[in-house]
Every structure is written in structure tokens, then in C-alpha cells.
Structure 1
Amino acid sequence: MLRDQLIGDLYEAAIRQDDFLEVLQRTAEAVGANVFHMFSWDPANNCPRFSVYTPDSHFDSIVTIYEAHYGALDPRRELVQRAPAGALVACQDHITDRDVARSEFYQDFQLPTSGHRYLMGTRLPRPGGSETLLGLLRDKGRKPYIDADRKTAVSLIPHLHRAINLWQDAKDLHRDAALGTELMEQLGLAVFALDKDGRPVFSNQAGEALLKAGTALRLRHGRLVAPHASDNDALLGAILRVARSRRGESLALRNATGASHDLFMSIAAIPGQTLVTFGSASVLITARPRGNGPPVTARQLQQAFGLTPAEAAVAEALIEGTSPEDYADTKGVSPNTVRCQVRAILAKTDARSQVKAVSTMLSVLSQKKPG
């Protein structure tokens, strides 16, 4: 029962991150060890790449000396490194008391400082990275590990291997997510992570501010909605398509008055390995409010999509939120002419609707300076 509880705690703590080392210490104690030490050895520089050990301040100075000099002399490390991956190595099977008496490592460092005489260790490969060496150490004065200790350790090694790799992966993801969130805040990007039903499970400060303003995006019945029905249909459709196809899309939403497109959105699927960061989320939305001045110009539209001057003028009006009918009335041209120009714009932007055409044009050009 204790073993099963430890295994469950290991996996849970690996994802949570906050108390994994404490759970690992309990696991070490369950096999009769006093402390654990895991590290990755750098053969080029003959020192550890990383080093993690039992949370205990008095152990810090000992490990510092080990890393600086004595780790290179440690006969136990060589035994573990030469053993098959995942195999349990007990130093008592290979290092006798006579070896200890003649060893610089034991006599000058190990016994006088930490006092750890006996070790069980294993080598844990890490996909795409350096392997982790895990040592379970007993204090000086304690007897060698017994068969029951070894049996328990052998049964736990596969779980320790997966949990340690999971802990390292989750730590990298949390770090990357923190860096990404900070960068998005600095860039003024609103971020929303949505579950499979389109409900936000995460939003950053810029996202909360955007929802509070409610000018181009709102929260209704727990879902993101746009102020205008056509924009809202386009938003919900894009979220569903991205969740299903895993292919990203872009979208532009008009403000509450419908006068202009004020919010430019990128909708993407969240890779499965990052679910630890965003919980049950499967879709990530980043949104950028419109800055000062027009987002794009007719000249840019001509150059980017091969539009004629007349088509580019219509496209610019659509981006500004003007309907084809209002544009025709304002310019004094035939509505049929404008509708033909709209169809040409849809064809040249590979879009099936005006909303999608506007989103495509803004996605390509909205971050460029007018030319």
C-alpha cells in the first residue's frame, strides 16, 4: 500500500513541480536510504551538468565540493554509468571495506564529510538528452542494504525513471510558459487557452483587460463571443475547426459599433505535450488590439494579393467595417460592380466569406508599416 501511494505521489508531484523533491526523498527513505542525489555527468568537463539532491541546507556545501573535485574520483559513479540502463547497482557488491580504506575519494571526502558509506544507484536515460544518474545513499554506521531494500528499489526504478523524466519535461514547459507569458504581456498580446467546448481555462492580464473593456470581445455564458453575429459565427467556427483539424487560423473582429476591425486574433491548437501548462485546454488564442492609424493600406493590398486598384479600395473599406452596399452608395457606383469586386477579393485571398477574406488580409499585413 505504501509503495502504491508513493508511485501515485511521484507522478502527481512531477506535474505539480512544487514538492517533487520531497516525494523523491520519501521514496529514498522507503528503500532504506538517508538521502538521494541525481545528476547528469558531463564527460567533456568531468563534472555534473545538473545536480539535484535531498532538500537539506547542510548538504549544499558537501555537494559543492563533490561537483568541484571528488565527483571525478567517485568509483560508484563509474559503476552506475557502466551498468545497463535501469539496472540497480549496489556498491557493496563491488567496493569492499579494503577498497574504501585505500580510496582517496572515501578517506579524504566521502566518509569525513557526508559519511555515506553504502549506495544503490541506477542510470536513467532521458530521450533526446543526457542520462540521469540516481544515487540512494546510507549514512556512515548503517549496515549494507538488505535484499528487501533491493527488491523494493528494483520495483520502483521504472516509476522513478518515468517520474523524473516527466518532472524534467514539466519543469522545462513551466519555464517556457513563464517566459512566453511574460513576452506576450510585454508585447501587449491577450492570451486565452480554451477547452474543447470553447470555454477559457486560462487568460493573462491583457486578456482579462480586453474582456473587461468588451469592445471587440466579450465573455457570455462562459464562452468568448464577438459583438456582431457574423463575427461571432466566424469566431466559433474557427475555434471548432482548429480544435478538429489542428491547423491554425487568423481572424479579425470589429468593435461594438462596427466601424472598424479593432482586434486581430491568431487561433492555434495546443500541442499535447503542453497540456500540463494549460490544464484541459486544447486551443490557444492570441489577440492584438488595433494600434493607431489604418491597419493596412490599399497599396499594400494590391502588392500582397494582386488586387486591382478598384478591388484594393473595396478591400480597404471592408477592413474598415464598411459594407459593400454602403461602399457602393458612398462612391456612387453600382452595387453589382462592388459585388463582383468582392468576389474577386474572395478568390484572390482564397476565402469563402468576407470575414475570412478580411482576416486573411489583416493576418498578412496588419503588422507592416503602410507603404
Structure 2
Amino acid sequence: MSDQALLRRAIEAAHHLEDPAPPWTDILTAARDVVGADSGSLLIFDGSGALLHLSQVGVDADGERDYREHFHTLDRFAHDAMRQPAGQWMDTSRMYALAQFRNTEYYADFMVKYRMAQVQAYILADAPTLRAAISFQRGTVDMGASDRLERGPAAAFFHTLRDGIARRQHAVYSHLANLEEAFSSFDEAICLVGPTGAVMRVSPLAREIFAGPMFAERHGTIWHADPRMRAMLLQSVAMTCQTGVRQSMTIPAGTGVTVTIDMVVAGPSLRVAGERCVLMRMQRRGSEDKQPDPDHLAAVFRITPAEARVLAALVAGQTAAAYAASAGVSVNTVRKQIAMLMTKMQCNRQSELVRKAILGQG
């Protein structure tokens, strides 16, 4: 196929970037052929440097697995390149002295194994919370490749690709803004986070929730003052990303304040290129809200007074351990009471108990 035909095919593929599900395999294949490389990759990282997405063409399946599971953390070139502004070309043969680069674990144990002598990358997005690049791998070094790509028809194609990504990002933010407006009418805040809990986008109401003393955003990541609760939060985010199964929980967020969180995998309209991220819906209940009355709960749900007191404590944001300490009973006793509550109230999760109790207060 002629160079002009390759460019036409590449530009045609790039024009589909605003589709609900862009044909990334076609875009990557066309871009690789324009560059004249052996393989091509699309990489997306969050603000913390965690890998959100990897798509590849022409790459050994073992190599893709090794990179995804381990070597992306050692890829000095990718992390250096991702600090650059969108529209920049980066090249390992330009950036590093070969003798120095050869001593890195990434080069010695990954690039050599999969016959990569040179890697070039074009930066597609440089937002603080999401960075994307399209990279190309060669088995031999071509010192003039970057010069050819930075001007002429090939440069025009990559500018088209970058502009398409920018438009798609804008469409994502617009859709998220519409969701924010819809959920805010129900006093629900939303937050988009990566698999490690890195915050990618928050609604104004979510900012208010994160301004509290216990549940907040710290260094770009969701955070809780209680280390155990923080670990549970991050584990739930990771589990949602990994399995696609919806997760729900209620956490204490201050004196008399709780936040109920619902987590689902973000849909295609909230992703630039299939990156893994979670949409968190949050609703805060403050001390000004109606406090649970154990006698009322016992009557509504036909539970014992002791179980009703435990349920009221859960609604108020107390953990099983905290309630046990305040009531002078063992944690095991409280946990058995929670298990019995789940059976009687036909709930599978503690968060469901809290929701049902709140709705049942009338």
C-alpha cells in the first residue's frame, strides 16, 4: 500500500474517535503502518502513574502480559514521556545514552527479550489526572524516524489524532457534567476514580464531602482517617475495576455524619479509550438528619431490642468494634447480631442494612 493510501486509512480511522466505542485496533494498526514500526501501543496512566489501559497491535501476547503485570512500573521511558505536553514526540534513542539505558531493568529484561531496540511515543493527552500516549516499537534503531514524523503528512495525521482525543475528553467531561447535574438533584455527589483510588474527576457536591475531617481526597487519592476503613475503600474500588461487580458501603465521615457509597464500572461514555475507572455515587447524612430510633426499628423490622440498637449504631456510622466497645459487649456478639439482621431483613451487605433502616424510619 502506498504512503498516501496508508495516511488516508489512518485519518479515516482517527475520525471515529468520537464514536461510543472507537476502533482502537484499526487506529493503532494504521498509525503503526504510517510510522513504519514493528508494533504499536496505546497507553493511559492516571495521575499517580498507575496503568489504566493498554491496547497493542503486533506485540507478542507474552510481552503484553509481562508489561501489564509488571514492567509498566519499570518503564522509565513511558513515565518520562508522560510528563511532556500533548503533541510532543519522544524517542529512546534521543533521550538516553545507550550505555546508561542498557543498564536499566526495563531494557535488559523486557526490551531485549522482546526484540525492541527503539521506542517512540507521541503524547496524546496531558491532563493532571489522565495521561495518554501512542507508542511504537522497532527491532532496529532508525535515527531519522522522529524527524520524518515531526513534519509533513505524518505529522498532520498525529495532530488529527491528538485533536480527536481532546474532543473525546471534552465529550467525556460534558457527559459527566450532565450526570453531576442529574444526581445533585437527589443530593448525590459523584466521583470518577482509577483502580488505585486516584481521583480523576469530582462533582461540586463531592468536593464538599471531601472537605470533611475523615473522608477526603489526599494527594490525588481517596482517603479515610481510619486506616482500616481506607483499606476497605481502596479494596472495594480495585474489586469493582477487576470484577465489574457493583460495590456498596457506608462509612463514617465525622461526628454523626456518614457517607453511603455506591461503586460501578464507568461506562464507555465516561472513558477516553477503555481505561479502567469507577464511578462513585455518594450521599452524605449529617447529624442534622433524623437519628434512628431503636424502638421504631424494632417495631418496623420485627427484630429484637438488642439487634435494633446495633442497627441504629450502624446507621449512625459506627463500626461493629466501636459499638461493641461503647455497649460493653464483645465484637463477636455484635457481628453475630449483624449476621442475624441480614437474615431477618433479607440483605446481603451491611450497606443494604443501613439503606433499608434509613428508608424504614419513615
User: Which TM bucket (shorter chain)?
Assistant: 0.3 to 0.5
Please say which structure displays the higher CA radius of gyration: 1
Q: Pick 1 or 2: higher relative contact order, CA cutoff 8 A, min separation 6.
A: 2
What is the TM-score of this pair, normalised by structure 2?
0.47
What is the TM-score of this pair, normalised by structure 1?
0.46
Normalized per residue, which structure has more helix?
Answer: 1
